[in-house]
Structure 1
Amino acid sequence: MKALVTGASGCLGRALVCDLLAHGWEVRTTARNRVDLPGFIAADLIHDDLTPLVKGVDAVFHCAALSAGWGSPQDFAATNVTATERLLQAARNAGTGRFIFASTPSLYANGMDRFNLAEDAALPSRALSPYAETKRRAENIVLANNDENMRCTAIRPRAIYGRHDRTLMPRLQNVMQRGFVPMIAGGNAQIDLTHRSDAARGMRLAANGPGGRVWNITSGEVFSFRHITDLVAHHGGYRVRRILIPYKMAYLLAGFAENRALRKGSSEPTLTRQAVVSLGRSMTLDISAAHKDLGYQPAVRLAQGLAECFE
């Protein structure tokens, strides 16, 4: 079997490349920046001819995305929606039999605590961020393309971390290195994480799952944000002071920071409204469907997975 992995330089993409190779797949890769990966082909998914990427592949694993808590809605739409539409069409034209999409549980977020969410849980009428909104649109497009010629599936992996993570743990470590960590709503929000290898396994298994379906993927453990920061501080040897911030205050401060960054044309602020919701409101996922349909079983516990973040 031959696979194309987009976003192959990212945390999930790299883990998926290793997982596929270990299971006998031949792999072709692409990413925004040139990297030393098997079968690498440089390509801009928004503008380039994608025929060379998909020619002769049996499955496309689409991990590429603009994943951030803040930014231009146009950039999110181009990267997360337009690129997905173009890749789907190119894969169909090439006769690719499977298309597997890396979606996100962010589309469940509604600003409230939500527990044990199954894949059919109600989604908010309006997404809380351009990222969640465009990933939701892209997921719908992918699943709507499922037919007898191309099996289309998706996974919603929660908070991926591990080696090559450039988002979750590095940001938390950067804050801790300053000697403090904000505890939004007391740090009591319940969060389930997903080690990169568990997410990659879930994505590979989804290639053989029933078409038109999406599955939640986590590592099967739930922790409070406070407990996660304690573990990170222990592994990193950080001595940090907890700063308690009420949820509403944090949300207002994040909105102010985003507006200021927008006016000045600066980069993503340290605190965004998406981050406040993610760290200040509980969200846990039900992964029983992945167990049943895919035979998915988490393999990496948080204490083990965190260790590689500090290697």
Structure 2
Amino acid sequence: MRALVTGASGCLGRALVDELAAEGWQVRTTARAPAALPDFRPADLVHDDLGPLVEGMDVVFHCAALSSAWGSPAAFEAANVAATRRLLHAARAAGATRFVFASTPSLYADGTDRLNLREDAPLPPRALTPYADTKRRAEAMVLAADGPAMRCTAIRPRAIYGAHDRALLPRLRAALARGRMPLIGGGHALVDLTHRRDAASAMRMAARGPGGGVWNVASGETFAFRDLAREAARRAGLDFRPVHLPYRAALALAGALEAAARLRGASEPPLTRQAVVSLGRSLTLDISAAERDLGYRPRVGLEEGLAECFA
């Protein structure tokens, strides 16, 4: 099988490239910045002609996204919606038979605790962040494009981490290094993580799963955020000094910090609304559908995954 992996230089993308190569796939890769990856083709998914990129590919794995906690609505729209639309059209025109999209469970977030969610759990009327909004619309576009000629599927991996992670653990480590660790709601929110290799395995399996399907993916292990932060501090050799913030106060503070950063033209503030939404309320997933439909089984536990991150 011949496959294109977008976002191939990221945490999930690199793991997927390794996963496919180990299974004997012929892999082509692309990303925003040059990278030493198999058959690498630099491309801007928003502006470039994507025909040469997808030519000859059986499967397109779309991992590229703007998944930052910080950015303009226009940037999220371009990277997550427009790029997905263009890639879908190019893949179909090139004769690809499968399109697999890396979505997100952030689209479930509604400001309340939500536990053991299945794929058919109700979504909030309005997404809470530009990231969740644009990924939700991109996922809907992908699933609507499913048809006999090109089967389209998606996975919703919860909090991908591991080597090459540029989001979850680096931000956690930076917060610890500043000396005070904000614990929203006391850090009691429950999270389940997904190691990059498990997410990559789910992507590969989805390429052979039922067309039009979407599956939750996680480790199957649930942790309170305060315990994860404490363990990260221990492994990083940093003091764990928590500051307790009520959820609504944290959301208001994050909004003020974001507004100030935009006025100054500054970089990402120390607390964002995306972080508050993600870490201030419990969100855990039921992964039984992925186990049933895809044969998915989590392989990497937290101890092994954190050892990789803090090696």
TM-score tier after normalising by the smaller chain length: over 0.9
Partner Cα separation in structure 2 for residue 235 and residue 267 of structure 1: 27
1 CA distance for matches of 2:246 and 2:84? 38
**CA distance in 2: counterparts of 1:108 and 1:278, whole angstroms:** 10
- Per-residue deviation at 1:242? 1.2
CA shift, 1:246, in A, is: 1.2
Partner secondary structure for residue 299 of structure 2:
coil
**Superposed structure 1 runs of 4+ greater than 4 Å apart:** none
Matches of 1:200 and 1:263, distance apart in 2: 39
Q: Superposition pairs for residues 124-203 of structure 1, below 5 Å?
A: 124-203=124-203
Greater CA drift, 112-121 or 269-278: 269-278
Taking structure 1 as the reference length, the TM-score comes to 0.99
One-letter amino acid matched to 1:236: A
Q: Deviations over 1:183-205 (max 9, x none)?
A: 11011000000000000001110
Q: Tell me which residue corresponds to 1:240.
A: 240
Q: Give yes or no for contact 1:218–1:287 (8 Å, CA) kept in 2.
A: yes
Answer yes or no: is the 8 Å Cα contact 1:70–1:130 preserved in 2.
Answer: no
**Cα drift, residue 94 of structure 1:** 0.5
CA distance in 2 between partners of 1:278 and 1:41 (Å): 33
- d(CA) in 1 for partners of 2:240, 2:155: 35
**Amino acid in structure 1 at the alignment position of 2:259:** N
Task: Trace 1:1-311 onto structure 2 (pairs within 5 A).
Answer: 1-311=1-311
Q: Counterpart of 2:34 in 1: which secondary structure?
A: coil
Indicate the SS of the match to 2:178: coil
Whether contact under 8 Å (2:102, 2:155) holds in the other structure is yes
Task: Tell me how far 1:70 sits from its aligned partner.
Answer: 2.8
By how many angstroms is 1:240 displaced?
2.1
Q: Which amino acid aligns with 1:154?
A: A
Identity of aligned residues (%): 65
The alignment partner of 1:209 has SS state of: coil
Please give the per-residue CA displacement for 1:104-140, whole angstroms capped at 9, x wherever unaligned.
0000000000000000000000000111000011000
Distance 2:4 2:100 in 1: 10
Number of residue pairs matched by the alignment: 311
Give the drift of 1:97.
0.3
Q: Is the 8 A contact 1:70 1:129 kept in 2?
A: no
**8 Å CA contact 1:156, 1:216 repeated in 2:** yes
Give 1:287's aligned amino acid: I
Q: Partner amino acid for 1:138?
A: A
5+ long unaligned stretches in structure 1? none
Aligned equivalents of 1:72, 1:232: Cα separation in 2: 30
Please provide the CA RMSD for this pair. Answer: 0.8
Counterparts of 1:259 and 1:293, CA distance in 2: 44
Scaled by the length of structure 2, the TM-score of the pair is: 0.99
Output the amino acid matched with 2:54. V
* 2:230 and 2:240 in contact (8 A); partners too: no
Alpha-carbon distance in structure 1 between the residues aligned to 2:104 and 2:241: 31
